[in-house]
């Protein structure tokens, strides 16, 4: 097989380092491409023109690590202090990423004489971007898969969402979803586990070639478990193979996972004043500059401005450092589980237990599982990190009053969730629905679902609208306050009617329903 | 009246062929405009500046058919092999389209001495674009109107959506919608029938002029019945009067009819990785090139890339041919009626009958009305057509695994729909709701509507999310798996409560309800 | 404190009028900046780089009122006929707006020797833009706050949306929302009242400085009550501090308050043919030209084109005058309260009383509170104002037929709302829910909420889709006709079941429910 490749290369040039000749029109200067990458390109440029052209547009194809590492100060993009010799003076091409650290990847296979792994991991990227990879490893997102699959309560909820449903007498039974379904529902964003389960021969234009069979592939989920055991993928936000910083800084990247009613960040942003400014004037902004200068490069924040990017003022002073541990600027976790709460201390949230022993950061009565959550002083520090960004464009009275409203909204939405939970507890208590304490699931009956609407959708919407000053429609009429009140009214209505039926001598429950312990 | 026009033209130039002088700044060179079109422009440029300026921006105003027909190979846009002499050397202007084939159009009227028809049809466009018009005539979309209005079951559903509601005792009665309502609800997209019902004099600045009265006008629905009897309108996607290929290739065009929860294509796309790339980098892409070169002209697909456009690689090899019969790359019809199914053989789907004799491509038990649907070999061929496009940017393991998930999701969503249908059948069976077999409609009661939510919205959302790898939110929390399970829970809850009431001696049904046959 | 500022200014230049040296790259020529504004910039450019750079991008920083006032005819932007001397020859900078009319503002405070007010009001803007401020003061939007807070019925609805909920026995009690919650929900768009309630010292880099404490701040709601008693803020649409006309003319500005299901203007627009043209070609349009020339500057309307902007044809003839009283082109108010109706005569709608004495423009039976609404001749005049705009791009048959459909839809959606209201009245009549006539609220029970879904969301969606020819999905499947029918089915289903329970001897109501008067 090597022979085939070599035969091909005779036509394509086999010198060790040659300039990148077929570069796209937008490429300013030729950067040497390693012989290994040339080998890759020889076939794959024809096979997958889209991948290769995207890479040719990328900064990876236009500057060598050796040049990039020279940049110091706020302009720095390559944070590793030492980069192996062989990478210094060539473009970061196919081979540089897909053949490095081959011994660390269980998915490595011989491909035309090269030891190739398909899925590049943050540890591979760390060769040049050590600091970012390190921060990301401590980021909640890197743990997105484990935080779901290692939490039995969340997986019980997942079962009632993505699982297969069938009736057993009058009761609905949900079977956990098959792996293919999981991979394109919850784990699409949370990340699959890439597991090599065998190999197969596939027909190629070189004849039969052997490839590994990898379950969980493809996946670009932010908490993917890689074939080297590392967590996450940089490609979740830095889309392969262009890896453009413009893309990571525009809100569409975050939208991929944060558009639904559970985390409606994009929707709220796009209807906010900031979003309006981005939509109208964003095309005139410079999304590539490092550092990213407030007022000069952009005049309103995108997601990245507030949560990730290194920001500077026009004099070159740092306003906020770059962070890939995105909780650095977040005191509150406004995603309700089931109430909003101070952020967890550890990015691995599966270790959390609340007062009832449940793997939840809050108790059903709205209090916090405090031992596992950051304390007031860390919260204050993180709030200050964020407010510094706000003050780039807003006076301190503005910022302080805004923040006061935001924290008030955390409290009022938690209070509304508590009222919904009290009705739900009464429903369980009366035996009108069967929860986990009574041998069932708290998520698989109609009113349980209406209850989860409250804290999984509506309360979150209101908080996201509050947090991004997009308070109008998304805080009120679009899955907001109107709907949280409506859900509570419906819970109360259902409960009242069930009690009325009860008084008439029938609970409306299937005859097979087991007798209940008290739910709480 | 002719005199008036002529009087006007004395001031405006009446030579046979004069260059287009008032052309917009973006027009590169003068193209001769026919005398007839000059006559049109003389009044209409002032009357409707927006229409005329859009046309001036169009390729129709900038190149003659005689030039365009010279182009051969993949760059070809004008597919007719012979074009009548009078069109060859003038811009394609007002008169060229609105006065040709006047005898074929029932709506033709005398307008200042010209035989004009208002609504230009695909058969008119076929003068230059024969191949596209021919393909489109075999396209499901061309039949969008007939496939709705000639299907009594779908029209029964339409009646309960757009019809007028009134209570008769405790029952809701829906009267079919009036034509004006139909024209702006279902038929807005499916297409009205343009019917000349008389004529009227209208006051113009030339004095009174006679115009036809056409019911169903205006309409740009994809399956419009034209005054020459032809089906559809090219203007549905190629927006009048700029007819820009950029527009047809951008996803906003498809969004006009495919944004709702029934066919959420745009929403899913915009939240997908492909959509992210389009939103961030699309402004740098070339949406005009023919053929459309993957990697060079664009780096991520839009709707058109996968479903319609002629794609090539950088070496000029064809990846996929242009098709206006959009099912050419579609093995599965993922829009549930009521289950996803292999695509119908004929674009006229009103001929389909399932095992129960209903005009549906599937049976209520989830099996297919196989005689009317494409077979496995045609499905395989179409899948390959699509996968060729995928492989422009993705390796075959990626594509194959993706496809496996997609087909798995077709099966699991069909299974969920079946479970919902079983509950619905039980509800009908018990007489708690009255369907078509019992003299009612299967669509006009609260639980019947909740059942249609399952297959008309949620199952479709999940499949569209799966098909476009936008699996995250739209497959789960935004009208996806969360909601299909919730609807089934509510159906089951309602049924259980109704049975409980039944056990107490009351069905909760109006006293006037007829005794039922068994529903199935 | 003055000393501190002066000390600073020694380093920064204290001449009376100096050119703006630090101007952004896009600024074409230096415009003199007043000494007062220089004083502001000296500190605030560093403190809030985003604000200052946005201002530098603005027209206010690039042309003096003295120059601007020279423009006459359709190009006029500065409508005041006399502008005070001190503003004529300097850029409109910080001091020009924030220190003028200081005696009129209760929030004025001494800030480094200047009498500064934080919130600039329309009366401040009127110094140069007198006509626009005057029109806006008669605009419904300027009264958006009062029209809500002075209407007890609307505030009762608001209480059940944004208020705090708690159960009292089986009944839900809603407490009016606290001011912080109000400010970021209903009043986020409707506008807060800015009220100076004290002052506080804050630590600055100049040491401690005294600032007013203003409740209701920040807020950019369109009906804000300012510290000079004026209503509204120009900044609601003309976003501070760039005040760009491009922004006001793009639909994203309106989206900030008009995206929710109550007023889904943006959503409908973006899925309409007009929206498609804007999304595809809008980046090539000129959003800055005054007048705005149809066909030349843009080829499809945005919100502003139809509702606000001064439009001209290519010959410079006015098609429609600029208006900041946006009802000038609106005969119908399609936002249902609870039915669509002719627009109110007075922008202060809190004075309206219907036949039942309720502060509603319609009666529960669908008839209009006619004395308070514009008459047929005013409606005809306004329709003509709008249709003139339509005819820029559409023939009169198109426009007339479109309009006929639109008015038909107003009638059919009102009819559907009436049917829903009849069921609701029956429910109240039977005592199954408790409305305002029986000592409760018509908005705080599950079925009352389902009823408000009908007229607050679905009927509005259908009408907005109709009005903007976005009739497809938003008129049918996205909160449209499908859903209005579904809500009516559910109301009817609930009512039937409640009657069935009643027949069994139980109303399902809490024991504490007061005996009812007849609801209507």
* B222-247 per-position pLDDT tens digit: 999 999 999 999 999 999 999 999 99
Q: Which partners does chain C have (≥3 C-beta pairs < 8 Å)?
A: A, B
- Of C401, C419, C493, which is closest to B218 when you measure between CB atoms? C401
Cβ-nearest to A313 among C46, C178, C257: C46
Cβ neighbour number for residue A34 with a 10 Å cutoff:
22
pTM of the full predicted structure?
Answer: 0.94
Among C259, C276, C470, most B C-beta atoms within 10 A, so best to mutate, is C276
Q: Give pLDDT, residue C506.
A: 58
Q: CB contact, 8 Å: A509 with chain C? A: no
Pairs of CB atoms within 8 A across B/C: 199
Residue of C50, C162, C166 with shortest CB distance to A481: C162
The partner residue sitting opposite B393, judged by closest CB among A51, A181, A510, is A51
* C505 and A CB contact within 8 Å: yes
Do the Cβ atoms of A473 and C244 come within 8 Å? no
The predicted model gives B288-310 an average pLDDT of 97
**pLDDT value of position B4:** 40
Pairing relationship of beta strands B311-312 and B292-293 according to DSSP bridges: parallel
* C322, pLDDT greater than 50: yes
CA distance A234 to chain B (A): 14
The answer, yes or no, to whether the previous bond of C351 is cis (omega within 30 of 0) is: no
Q: Does B408 contact A at CB distance below 8 Å?
A: yes
Nearest CA-CA distance, residue C154 and chain A, Å = 13
Chain A neighbours (≥3 Cβ pairs under 8 A) are: B, C
Tell me if B393 and A160 make a contact (CB, 8 A cut-off): no
Q: Decide if B220 contacts C504 (C-beta within 8 A).
A: no
Give the residue from chain A lying closest to B493, CA to CA.
A446
| Tokens found for residue C97 | 């707006």
Task: Say whether C246 sits in a helix, a strand or coil.
Answer: helix
Chain centroid to CA B132: how far? Answer: 16
The Cα of B186 is separated from the nearest Cα of chain C by a number of Å equal to 7
Please state, for a pLDDT cut of 90, what percent of chain B lies above it: 88
pLDDT of residue B471: 66
Q: Is B205 an 8 Å CB contact of chain A?
A: no
CA distances from C417 to A223, B133, C422, C446, C455 (A): 48, 44, 9, 17, 6
What are the pLDDT digits (tens) for B489-498? 999 999 999 9
Contact B218 C271 (CB under 8 A): no
Q: What is the ipTM of this complex?
A: 0.93
Listing DSSP states for C404-454 in one string gives HHHHHHHHHHHHHHHHHHHHHHHHHHHTSS--GGGTS-TTSSHHHHHHHHI
The per-residue pLDDT for A107 is 87
Paired tokens of A484: 């949280």
Question: Cβ contacts (< 8 Å) between B500 and chain A: which residues?
Answer: 501, 506-509
β partners of residue B199: B212
**Residue A311, SS3 per DSSP:** strand
Please state which of the ranges B461-465, C249-253, C470-474 shows the lowest mean pLDDT: C470-474
Nearest CA distance, C371 vs chain A (angstrom): 31
- Which of chain A's residues have a Cβ under 8 Å away from the Cβ of C178? 408, 412
Which chain C residues are within 8 Å of A272, Cβ to Cβ?
256
pLDDT at residue A205, as a whole number: 84
Q: How distant is the Cα of B359 from the closest Cα of chain A, in angstroms?
A: 28
Start-to-end CA distance of chain C, whole Å, equals 66
CB contact under 8 A, B239 and C273: yes
Please determine, for residue C457, whether its predicted confidence score (pLDDT) is greater than 70.
yes
Strand extents, DSSP E, A230-381: 292-293, 311-312, 318-320, 332-333, 341-342
* A vs B: CB pairs below 8 A: 200
* pLDDT over 90 at B435, yes or no: yes
Average pLDDT value for residue range C244-251: 96
How many whole angstroms separate alpha carbon C340 and alpha carbon C410? 7
* SS3 state of residue A113: coil
3-class secondary-structure state, position C115 = strand
Strands C318-320 and C171-175: unpaired
How confident is the model over B192-210, as a mean pLDDT? Answer: 94
3-state SS assignment for residue B288: coil
Nearest to A482 among C161, C188, C444 (CB): C161
Query: B404 touching A, CB under 8 A?
Result: yes
What is the Cα–Cα distance from B32 to B18, expressed in whole angstroms?
Answer: 5
Measured in angstroms, the CA of A309 and the nearest CA of chain C are apart by: 16
B449, C485: Cβ pair inside 8 Å?
Answer: yes
Interchain contact, A167 vs B492, CB within 8 Å: yes
Phi and psi for C384 in degrees, rounded to 5?
A: -65, -40
- Residue B291 scores a pLDDT above 60: yes
Token pair recorded at residue A80: 């590793």
Q: Is A490 on the interface with C (CB under 8 A)?
A: yes
Find the closest chain B residue to C268 by CA distance.
B256
Touching subunits for chain B (3+ Cβ pairs under 8 A): A, C
Chain C residue numbers with beta carbons less than 8 Å from the beta carbon of B167 are 419, 422-423, 492
CA angle C443, C444, C447 (to 5 degrees): 80
Interface test with A, best of B471, B479, B503 (most A CBs within 10 A): B471
Mean pLDDT, 10 residues at a time, chain A of 520 residues: 37 35 44 97 92 94 96 95 96 98 96 96 98 97 98 98 95 97 97 97 92 97 98 96 95 96 96 96 96 96 97 94 96 98 98 97 96 98 98 95 98 98 98 95 98 98 93 89 98 96 68 35
Give pLDDT, residue B508: 45
Asked if A479 is an interface residue toward chain B (Cβ–Cβ < 8 A), one would say no
Residues of C in contact with B163 (CB under 8 A): 485
Residues from chain C that touch B498, judged by Cβ atoms under 8 A, are 497
| Interchain CB contacts (distance < 8 Å): A and C | 198
> Looking at residue C471, what is its pLDDT?
66
Between residues 24 and 53 of chain C, which touch chain A (CB distance below 8 Å)?
A: 24, 45-53
Tell if the CB–CB gap between C50 and A404 is shorter than 8 Å.
no
> Among residues 444-463 of chain B, which lie with CB inside 8 Å of chain A?
none
Task: Please write the tens of the pLDDT for every residue from C21-34.
Answer: 333 333 445 799 99
Average pLDDT of chain C is 91
Residues of chain C found within 8 Å of residue A402, distances taken between Cβ atoms: 218
The number of helices, as runs of H, and strands, as runs of E, in chain B is 23, 13
Cβ within 8 Å, pair A273-C509 = no
Nearest to C74 by CA among C313, C249, C248, C278: C313
The whole-angstrom separation of Cα C48 and Cα A390 is 9
């Amino acid at each position: 097989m090597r022979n085939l490749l070599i035969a091909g290369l005779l036509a394509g040039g086999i010198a060790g380092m040659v300039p990148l000749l077929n570069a796209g029109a937008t490429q300013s200067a030729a950067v040497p491409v390693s012989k290994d990458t040339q080998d890759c390109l020889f076939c794959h440029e024809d096979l997958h023109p889209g991948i290769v052209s995207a890479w040719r547009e990328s900064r990876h194809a236009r500057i060598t690590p050796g040049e990039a590492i020279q940049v110091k100060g706020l302009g720095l993009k390559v944070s590793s202090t030492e980069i192996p010799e062989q990478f210094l003076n060539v473009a970061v091409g196919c081979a540089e990423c897909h053949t490095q650290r081959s011994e660390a990847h269980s998915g490595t296979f011989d491909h035309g004489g090269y030891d190739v792994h398909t899925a590049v991991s943050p540890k591979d990227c760390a060769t040049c971007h050590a600091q970012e990879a390190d921060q990301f490893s401590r980021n909640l997102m890197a743990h997105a898969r484990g935080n779901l699959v290692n939490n039995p309560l969340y997986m019980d909820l997942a079962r009632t969402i993505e699982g297969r449903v069938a009736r057993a007498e009058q009761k609905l039974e949900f079977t956990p979803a098959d792996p293919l379904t999981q991979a394109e529902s919850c784990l699409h964003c949370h990340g699959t586990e890439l597991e090599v389960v065998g190999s197969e021969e596939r027909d190629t234009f070189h004849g039969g070639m052997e490839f590994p069979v990898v379950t969980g592939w493809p996946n670009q989920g932010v908490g993917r478990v890689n074939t080297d055991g590392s967590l996450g993928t940089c490609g979740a936000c830095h889309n392969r193979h262009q890896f453009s910083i413009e893309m990571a800084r525009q809100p569409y990247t975050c939208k991929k996972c944060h558009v639904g009613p559970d985390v409606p960040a994009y929707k709220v942003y796009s209807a906010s004043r900031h979003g309006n400014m981005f939509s109208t004037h964003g095309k005139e902004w410079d999304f590539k500059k490092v550092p990213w200068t407030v007022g000069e490069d952009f005049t309103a924040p995108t997601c990245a401005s507030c949560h990730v990017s290194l920001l500077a003022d026009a004099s070159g002073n740092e306003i906020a450092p770059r962070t890939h541990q995105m909780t650095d600027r977040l005191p509150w976790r406004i995603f309700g589980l089931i109430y909003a709460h101070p952020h967890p201390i550890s990015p691995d949230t599966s270790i959390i237990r609340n007062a009832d022993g449940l793997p939840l950061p809050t108790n059903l009565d709205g209090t916090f599982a405090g031992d596992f959550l950051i304390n007031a002083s860390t919260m204050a520090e993180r709030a200050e990190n964020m407010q510094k960004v706000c003050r780039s464009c807003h006076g301190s009275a503005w910022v302080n009053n805004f923040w006061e409203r935001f924290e008030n909204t955390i409290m009022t939405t938690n209070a509304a969730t508590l009222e919904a939970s009290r009705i739900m507890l009464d429903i369980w208590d009366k035996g009108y629905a069967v929860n986990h304490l009574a041998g069932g699931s708290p998520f698989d009956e109609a009113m349980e679902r209406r209850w989860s609407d409250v804290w999984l959708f509506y309360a979150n919407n209101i908080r996201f609208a509050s947090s991004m000053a997009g308070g109008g429609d998304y805080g009120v009429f679009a899955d907001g306050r109107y709907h949280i009140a409506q859900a509570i009214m419906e819970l109360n209505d259902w409960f009242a009617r069930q009690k009325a039926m009860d008084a008439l001598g029938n609970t409306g429950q299937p005859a097979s329903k087991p007798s209940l312990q008290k739910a709480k």
